[in-house]
């Protein structure tokens, strides 16, 4: 009988410790998931930037701005597969011109739309911290007051994240 009582007390203690750990460390686990998605976005853009540089080196001509899909000139010769956006879970990486678009001009930046959700905002904040766009202790300001008439070439870091006027968050990596 005492063994059963000790077992019940042990289970209650184990459940209490699990709940206390979840309460104390819950935000850290949530932030870790956001940081992982942000690192995956930065890494996908970096791989694509390396593929664009290799394209220019091998072909002798700059790459024109284009959406990176399985039928683009980068896949499969310079990129094994098309990168997938970890926030939206779709292929959504773009090799853009100086304004970020794919309508004209030579490729000058890689960008990826993260969407306008709370997850996109948190991933954008994490990207800004990981790339040095803001310091680890600085508050995150997603209003981007300095975005008026700005191009990706005018951003303070070669890679980062910003919020455009439509409310969407975009990660970028200059070439």
Kindly report, residue by residue over 105-163, the tens digit of the pLDDT. 777 788 888 888 888 888 888 888 888 777 777 777 666 544 544 556 566 778 888 88
Highest mean pLDDT among 17-26, 61-70, 124-133: 124-133
Q: What whole-number distance in Å separates Cα of residue 67 and Cα of residue 64?
A: 10
Counting residues of the chain whose pLDDT is more than 90, the rounded percentage is 0
What is the predicted pLDDT for the residue at 14?
Answer: 72
What is the mean predicted confidence (pLDDT) over 65-77?
A: 74
Confidence of residue 100 (pLDDT cuts 50, 70, 90): low
Least Cα distance to 82 among 95, 65, 63 occurs for 95
Counting residues of the chain whose pLDDT is more than 70, the rounded percentage is 75
What is the predicted pLDDT for the residue at 173?
Answer: 85
pTM over 0.85: no
pLDDT score of 89 more than 80:
no
Identify the H or E element spanning 19. helix 2-59
Least Cα distance to 38 among 115, 130, 102, 117 occurs for 130
Whether the Cβ atoms of residue 109 and residue 49 lie closer than 8 Å to each other: no
Q: What whole-number distance in Å separates Cα of residue 110 and Cα of residue 92?
A: 11
Tokens linked to 151: 């191009």
What is the predicted pLDDT for the residue at 51?
Answer: 85
Whether the Cβ atoms of residue 104 and residue 65 lie closer than 8 Å to each other: yes
pLDDT score of 20 more than 60:
yes
What is the predicted pLDDT for the residue at 154?
Answer: 63
| DSSP characters over 53-78 | HHHHHHHSSPPBPEE--TTSTTTTTT
Q: What whole-number distance in Å separates Cα of residue 103 and Cα of residue 99?
A: 10
For the chain, the 3-state helix, strand and coil shares in percent, each to the nearest 5, are: 45, 15, 40
What is the predicted pLDDT for the residue at 112?
Answer: 86
Tokens linked to 67: 């959406």
């Amino acid at each position: 009988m005492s063994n059963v009582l000790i077992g019940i007390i042990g289970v209650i203690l184990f459940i209490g410790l699990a709940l206390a750990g979840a309460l104390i460390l819950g935000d850290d686990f949530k932030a870790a998931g956001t940081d992982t998605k942000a690192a995956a976005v930065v890494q996908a853009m970096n791989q694509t930037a390396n593929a664009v540089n290799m394209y220019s080196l091998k072909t002798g001509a700059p790459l024109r701005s284009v959406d990176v899909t399985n039928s683009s000139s980068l896949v499969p010769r310079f990129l094994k597969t098309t990168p997938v956006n970890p926030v939206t879970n779709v292929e959504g990486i773009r090799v853009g011109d100086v304004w970020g678009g794919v309508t004209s001009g030579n490729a000058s930046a890689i960008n990826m739309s993260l969407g306008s959700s709370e997850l996109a905002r948190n991933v954008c904040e994490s990207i800004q911290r990981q790339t040095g766009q803001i310091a680890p202790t600085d508050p995150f300001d997603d209003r981007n007051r300095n975005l008026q008439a700005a191009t990706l070439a005018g951003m303070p870091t070669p890679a980062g994240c910003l919020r455009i006027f439509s409310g969407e968050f975009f990660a970028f990596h200059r070439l």
